[in-house]
Structure 1
Amino acid sequence: MNGDGTLRTARAIVWARRRAAMASFWRMYRAQRGGMFGLGLLLIITLITLLAPYYTDESELRASNAPGGRMEPPSSEFWFGTDQTGRSILLMVIWGARVSLQVGIVAAVLAVTMGTLIGMSAAHFGGWISWVLMRLTDWFIVLPSLVLAIALVMALGPSRTTIIIAIALTSWAGTARLVRAQTMAIEGRPYLERAKALGAGHWHQMSRHVLPNLMPLVLASATLQVSSAILSEASLSFLGLGDPSRFSWGTILQRAFLSGAISSGAWWYMLPPGLAILLVVLAFTLCGRAMETVLNPRLRGGK
């Protein structure tokens, strides 16, 4: 067999193993009732959010186009009632989900990516590089993340991009610690020692051997990180540091608080965005815990 045929055969074997691994993962994941509930909930929320432009009118979010009266309670026309300008709270929650989910997912991906790169580098290179990276990680761990995020947003100015950067910069350290410990365990395995003996460079070792074995941990960490990022975004927006040009769940809560919804008894203004945050965080947490159980033999009862 020529070289091209051997390469194609090797790739076919690799992809066959990957497909088998994915099928095995999905089979074990389906056995996790909590994970399936969370996944179903996420799919429903995602569809409602992505299809919002096709069944709602975003122009009604402008105060000048508000279709209802001031602080109307839930009714057949406005299922979640209206705010102080007559806008539908249901419409605000649906469109706010687009911002909250976008910020949460992008910030979590950036944080996990930073943590993975720093943790891998610290474990792989060791020496003074590891010392510097771990001291930096310790510094971010001991700092109050919300306070640091507030300082960053106030310094850079409130916007969606700023919030994403602030959340990512304040939440990568925990992932870095986990990845460093797992990388050190992986690099002690025989196949990596053989790769080093055969002359594999740093990039080959990390990209072909270390990172694929880290991916289960990284994916589970990313899923759980989204919940934390959504809560952080809601906290910053509630404090008045969100994007002033767009609705998010935290922004809705902040406007409800400033409009006196609590003192006036307008519970329908506060409850829907709060429940939306709760449901999304619960869904991501259930998915993350299920993935963790599937990928960790000890958690699923393996020896």
Structure 2
Amino acid sequence: MSTARTSAWRRFRRDREGLSGLIVLTLFALMAIFADLLADPVGLDVTKAAGKALDAPSWAFPLGTDHAGRSVLTMVIHGSQITLLVGLAATVISMVLGTLIGITSGHFSGMVGGTLNRLTEWFLVIPYLPLAIVLATVFPPAVPKLIAVIIVIGVTSWSGTARLVRAQTMAIEARPYLERARALGGGHWHQMTRHVLPNVMPLVLANTTLTVSIAIIAETTLSFLGLGDPLRVSWGRILEQAHDLGAIDLNAWWWVLAPGIAVVLVVRAFNMCGRALERILDPRLEM
């Protein structure tokens, strides 16, 4: 196993697209981790803003200021924490649900497998964004908004993973060593955890990087629509404020451009890493 991981990492380092994406993600991760050192969080307080309203980019404020005189750079740096946290946490929920439902629906036939497959198809055909908006609006007020957004994104984005895992599970179930395991008395739990799960994990890993980008776009969209946490700064929240206060009409292009580019770079980086992992785990995709 260690040799296989070493070989996969060596091939990943030789993949220019994947390595470039990893470098970009590392930079954003470091920015989120050390946000308090890179930019004083006091600058997020409207009452303590140090700049002029809608001041264009300058040496003092490299990305300009917002309507309250806050540094857009400071908001983008601290906004990376919430955006990445929501994206990663929602992806964990999505991957766990998708893997469990996919393996179970692929392993069991009859009512159990059929019901889970119909449930997966139901989530696939329903428009994702309207469903997420409905769930976000009906969440109990007692649940913190940030937790609600994470759960909403996680429970609405697992169906694609479940479909992929189910197809892979059904292919694995037809292999001879699964027949031998059943003949030797291996139960359902033994078959799914000892034989199926290890074989679908490479597919899950590659799909995870792609799902993170979807979750980040979902968080940005929900925040832009006013369904995010109003007490926390995120890239979507910055875009929402810029839109509501007419940043484009006021020619404050920097207020929109900075968080927008940040979202594009992170999503693109995750997609680049995901494509590289797909090529490594499936040699047939190599050109």
- TM-score, reference length from structure 2: 0.97
Unaligned runs of 5+ in 1: 1-17
* 1:260 paired residue number: 246
Deviation digits for residues 18-50 of structure 1, max 9, x if unmatched?
A: 101101111221221100000011111111110
* 2:189 paired residue number: 203
Which amino acid is the alignment partner of residue 186 of structure 1? Answer: I
Shift of 1:229: 0.5
Unaligned runs of 5+ in 2: none
Shift of 1:201: 1.7
Shift of 1:205: 1.3
RMSD: 1.0
Q: 3-state DSSP class of the match of 2:284?
A: coil
Deviation digits for residues 247-268 of structure 1, max 9, x if unmatched?
A: 1100000001111111010001
Structure with higher Rg: it is 1
| d(CA) in 1 for partners of 2:146, 2:188 | 36
Query: Does residue 147 of structure 2 align to residue 175 of structure 1?
Result: no
* 2:9 paired residue number: 26
Which amino acid is the alignment partner of residue 237 of structure 2? Answer: T
Which amino acid is the alignment partner of residue 55 of structure 2? Answer: E
User: Which of 212, 222, 227 is residue 198 of structure 2 equivalent to?
Assistant: 212
Query: Does residue 129 of structure 2 align to residue 143 of structure 1?
Result: no
* 2:54 paired residue number: 71
* 1:166 paired residue number: 152
Shift of 1:53: 1.6
Which amino acid is the alignment partner of residue 61 of structure 1? Answer: L
Q: 3-state DSSP class of the match of 1:298?
A: helix
Q: How does 1:26-45 map to 2 (within 5 A)?
A: 26-45=9-28
Shift of 1:171: 0.9
Q: How does 1:1-303 map to 2 (within 5 A)?
A: 18-156=1-139, 157=141, 159-300=145-286
Shift of 1:181: 0.5
| d(CA) in 2 for partners of 1:190, 1:105 | 37
| d(CA) in 2 for partners of 1:265, 1:56 | 25
Deviation digits for residues 172-216 of structure 1, max 9, x if unmatched?
A: 111111100000111111122222222222222111111111111
| d(CA) in 2 for partners of 1:81, 1:287 | 31
| d(CA) in 1 for partners of 2:111, 2:149 | 32
| d(CA) in 2 for partners of 1:152, 1:193 | 42
Shift of 1:55: 3.0
| d(CA) in 1 for partners of 2:10, 2:38 | 35
Shift of 1:54: 2.2
Shift of 1:56: 2.2
Deviation digits for residues 40-83 of structure 1, max 9, x if unmatched?
A: 11111111110112232112101011111101000001010000
| d(CA) in 2 for partners of 1:246, 1:95 | 9
- TM-score, reference length from structure 1: 0.92
Which amino acid is the alignment partner of residue 117 of structure 2? Answer: M
| d(CA) in 2 for partners of 1:75, 1:27 | 43
Q: Percent identity?
A: 54
- How many residues are matched? 284
Runs of 4+ residues deviating >6 angstroms: none
| d(CA) in 2 for partners of 1:198, 1:216 | 27
Q: 3-state DSSP class of the match of 1:237?
A: helix
